[in-house]
Structure 1
């Protein structure tokens, strides 16, 4: 069968199409015919090699999958799953994460444990289903389970044009929040405004801290405090410490990653003097995946898809993802 894989860490050009053996299923697995796969920000990072992460080679990338069941293992509950049923996949289990330490979905067929399958409603097409769960379910858990955002709150979202960011915009707006999106160009900004951002900060012309202070007031330790209620910062890096300057006294800083660097300089004075609460959110739970499917099926949310391309177009897509030329998700059709 056809697959996209890399046999050594390094540049994106190491990705190539290969003919690999068909997977054989165990009694507890289902064989899936893959329909579509979306990319995530960690895919180029895995290509380069992540310190401390042992990626077995050759590796097939792709964690977010929509597929059809074409074979059931002997022990799979036929009352829950059936041939030709459309499913999504929970990409992580006790052994690791697909596309990082377990073979991913950029191949024609894949064997997956039945307990990792999530039924896809008829109202959700294959492309939308492939956008879940890594970015969208992660955003859902970070905002609601961990961050507990509430209607009327001001939510600042850094790196708002990526998969997590575009979902955060839609979910925060759905919750009745005032959404402030930070991005790197006017073109991206217009698209973020179209999906619900109330304010857009283009960092090519405006510093986001200055904008927040001028628009919502300066955060203060005494008296009336300006600033935002919640700052979503999964960039880390140089934006970590400076983002504290945007958050009101008693406000929250939410993080689910560190795309700009995991060991940034910080300023503890802001944490104690402004009584900030820093909340980490690690991925998602199955119920977040299911909830996102429900929101899409009922028309309350639509995944932001930058482009849909064939599987063999992955090199350019990975370059664009790495260089931040993507708004939302890139979906690769398999077959």
Structure 2
């Protein structure tokens, strides 16, 4: 079969397109899918580079998010049949493996997976939309709703708003009735985030985003009338040098929501802001199966849009990797075998 795989850890040269990669073999308790759509996440970049403390057996086909149809069913599988349209929960919660990391993922024509990781795609949801939902969108839903408890009327700032997680956060915040401030790095991205529903947009490459938030909502104070100044919630899954400034955007009792650290996991910290302003820092570790199902339900109801920046094939998947790695994407890049 055709596949795009990681042969060794390293830079772009570590990935290879192969028209004769071995076909997957169905396992007891599992199925084989014909892949119809897969999306890239920054997680795939980390897998290619190599992650501290994690040893992977290579080669491996990347691609956590996989949507397709069942073409073969293994022994001991109940409730699924050939032709069923499914999306994969990327995390194997029994073996603690991850599709596209510890086992071959979606950047191939076929993919083998245990049946307990399957989620049925609603009839009115296409494969492209379904492939967007697991990693980025379900992570956003868990962060915003399950753990973050964003509420109508709150002022919510979203750093990295143009990424896969970010564009979903914008939509979920608007769906909850919030006033949304989206931060991005270019005029084009900001315009498209406006179209997605953001009330205010800030270019963090051209301006100091903290100063811009203070212009919008005032500088927070510990007491008095200004105690309500600032954002109620800020989403920061970039880390790095945005961390302390994010804390400084928040009103007394505000919440910082995080699910990652794409720009650095060990930023400078100033914990005075946490205790002085009684802030809450709430983490979300990926997603659960019900978060993926929740996103699919919102998509089926027409309330959540899968924002796809561009569609690639396996033959030009290297370009898709480059786009994601250099953050030249709004939403998700999708790969169809």
In structure 1, the residue matched to 2:49 is: 48
In structure 2, the residue matched to 1:89 is: 88
Alpha-carbon deviation of 1:204? 2.5
1:185 equivalenced with 2:191 (yes/no): no
Alpha-carbon deviation of 1:138? 0.4
Alpha-carbon deviation of 1:230? 0.3
Alpha-carbon deviation of 1:14? 2.1
> TM-score, normalized by length of structure 1?
0.97
**Quick one: distance in 2 between partners of 1:138 and 1:204?**
26
**Quick one: distance in 1 between partners of 2:295 and 2:86?**
14
Are 1:65 and 1:88, in contact at CA under 8 Å, matched by a contact in 2?
A: yes
Question: Deviation digits for residues 53-106 of structure 1, max 9, x if unmatched?
Answer: 2121001100001110011112111xx212101100011113321222222121
Q: 1:319 aligns with which of 297, 318, 322?
A: 322
Are 1:68 and 1:85, in contact at CA under 8 Å, matched by a contact in 2?
A: yes
Alpha-carbon deviation of 1:2? 1.5
**Quick one: distance in 2 between partners of 1:308 and 1:103?**
21
Alpha-carbon deviation of 1:7? 1.1
Are 1:142 and 1:256, in contact at CA under 8 Å, matched by a contact in 2?
A: yes
Q: Which moved further from structure 2: 185-194 or 38-47?
A: 38-47
In structure 1, the residue matched to 2:161 is: 160
**Quick one: distance in 1 between partners of 2:167 and 2:2?**
32
**Quick one: distance in 2 between partners of 1:9 and 1:49?**
5
Are 1:179 and 1:197, in contact at CA under 8 Å, matched by a contact in 2?
A: yes
Question: Deviation digits for residues 281-328 of structure 1, max 9, x if unmatched?
Answer: 001111111111111111111111001111211111111111111000
In structure 1, the residue matched to 2:205 is: 204
What SS does the corresponding residue of 2:323 show, helix, strand or coil? helix
Alpha-carbon deviation of 1:185? 0.8
In structure 2, the residue matched to 1:330 is: 333
> TM-score, normalized by length of structure 2?
0.96
Q: 2:312 aligns with which of 309, 316, 321?
A: 309
Are 2:2 and 2:314, in contact at CA under 8 Å, matched by a contact in 1?
A: no
Are 1:220 and 1:248, in contact at CA under 8 Å, matched by a contact in 2?
A: yes
What residue ranges of structure 1 are gaps of 5+ in the alignment?
none
Write out aligned runs for 1:1-335 (5 A). 1-18=1-18, 19-77=20-78, 80-93=79-92, 94-224=95-225, 225=227, 226-334=229-337
Are 1:13 and 1:315, in contact at CA under 8 Å, matched by a contact in 2?
A: no
Alpha-carbon deviation of 1:278? 0.4
**Quick one: distance in 2 between partners of 1:71 and 1:117?**
13
Alpha-carbon deviation of 1:13? 2.4
**Quick one: distance in 1 between partners of 2:47 and 2:25?**
26
What SS does the corresponding residue of 1:131 show, helix, strand or coil? helix
Are 1:188 and 1:327, in contact at CA under 8 Å, matched by a contact in 2?
A: yes
Alpha-carbon deviation of 1:205? 2.1
Are 1:65 and 1:132, in contact at CA under 8 Å, matched by a contact in 2?
A: no
Question: Deviation digits for residues 169-225 of structure 1, max 9, x if unmatched?
Answer: 001000000010000011100000101100000113221100111110111111132
Are 1:155 and 1:179, in contact at CA under 8 Å, matched by a contact in 2?
A: yes
Are 2:155 and 2:179, in contact at CA under 8 Å, matched by a contact in 1?
A: yes
**Quick one: distance in 2 between partners of 1:105 and 1:112?**
10
Are 2:30 and 2:74, in contact at CA under 8 Å, matched by a contact in 1?
A: yes
Q: Which moved further from structure 2: 264-273 or 310-319?
A: 310-319
**Quick one: distance in 2 between partners of 1:274 and 1:51?**
34
Alpha-carbon deviation of 1:23? 1.6
Are 1:54 and 1:101, in contact at CA under 8 Å, matched by a contact in 2?
A: no
